Amino acid sequence: MQPLIPLLTTTLPVLYALSVAAYGRAYADETSTGGRFGPVVLRLAVLFHVLYLSARGVTEGHLPLASAYDFLSATALSLAAVYTYLELRQGVRTTGIFVLPLVFLMQVISSAYGNTVPASQPPLFPFWFELHTMTAVLGYGAFFVSAIYGVLFLLLYREIKANRLSFFFRRMPPLETLGRMNVSAASAGLVLLGLAILMGVGWARMANVALAKDPKTWLTVGAWCLLGFAVLAYHRLGWRGPRAVYASLAGFTTLLLSRVVTDLFVRSFHTWR
């Protein structure tokens, strides 16, 4: 599978660029062919991306999360996959332009600066820890998409409340659908991050790592609880509108904060080196 890697490293940004262009066109003009062309290219890109990471995994002998560039690529895949899932479920194609440029940017950086000719290396961590990292990255991606839909919801909410019925208003799906997309993505993130936390706790017990002193663990668990509350409030308490969205955005902000705190202000086994 190794010969595939350089080819896919170049192909992925091209495919994501094409899907950005197609979704951009679909947003600008509903009747354009972009609406039909975009999803096809994007699904192809997601498929190639899975193939790329699998090829990397097979070649290197461990999950491809050895550097920040690998992390970016996995997050890009997560964003693209969660978006594709939401698009398939809700049938909404006009919001792709708000998600896919990020995917493109992440993959371009990863392809340009990452290791394009990987060789077999001994794994740095046990498999469970790698799996914990991968599920966490996928969870972050889902929360990222949820946050994007949260922001879109708030923008549309304000437009409708203020009777400013602009081009953005015409292109967006119903407010209720945006709210549902926000919660659906958060639910997917909740499951993935929940699994990551469980696997992380299991690994820490086996490796005798003291989680109690790790601020990232506490902040992540806190963010998970906040996001869990937002999803629960939507489904069980009937929360709708900005209140539910603000709750999920608070959870996402805490999650980002945990990353920033870990990387910039404290040293722990969670810090990227």
Query: Which residues are near other proteins by CB under 8 A?
Result: 29-31, 160-161, 163, 165, 169-170, 172, 174-177, 237-243
Task: Tell the residue number behind the tokens 């999950």, with chain if given.
Answer: 63
Distance CA 246, CA 179 (A): 11
Which is nearer to other proteins, 53 or 172 (by Cβ)? 172
Which is nearer to other proteins, 168 or 218 (by Cβ)? 168
Instruction: Supply the minimum distance, in Å, between the C-beta of residue 239 and other proteins.
Output: 7
**Strand (E) or helix (H) holding 67:** none
Angle, helix 175-207 to helix 68-90, in steps of 10 degrees: 140
And the tokens for 86? 């939401």
Task: Tell the residue number behind the tokens 């479920």, with chain if given.
Answer: 89
Instruction: Supply the minimum distance, in Å, between the C-beta of residue 169 and other proteins.
Output: 7
Instruction: Supply the minimum distance, in Å, between the C-beta of residue 237 and other proteins.
Output: 7
Compute the chain's Rg from CA coordinates.
19
Which is nearer to other proteins, 169 or 269 (by Cβ)? 169
Which is nearer to other proteins, 162 or 212 (by Cβ)? 162
Which is nearer to other proteins, 240 or 259 (by Cβ)? 240
End-to-end Cα spacing for the chain? 28
Instruction: Supply the minimum distance, in Å, between the C-beta of residue 84 and other proteins.
Output: 21
Instruction: Supply the minimum distance, in Å, between the C-beta of residue 170 and other proteins.
Output: 7
C-alpha torsion angle, residues 25, 29, 30, 36 (rounded to 10): -30
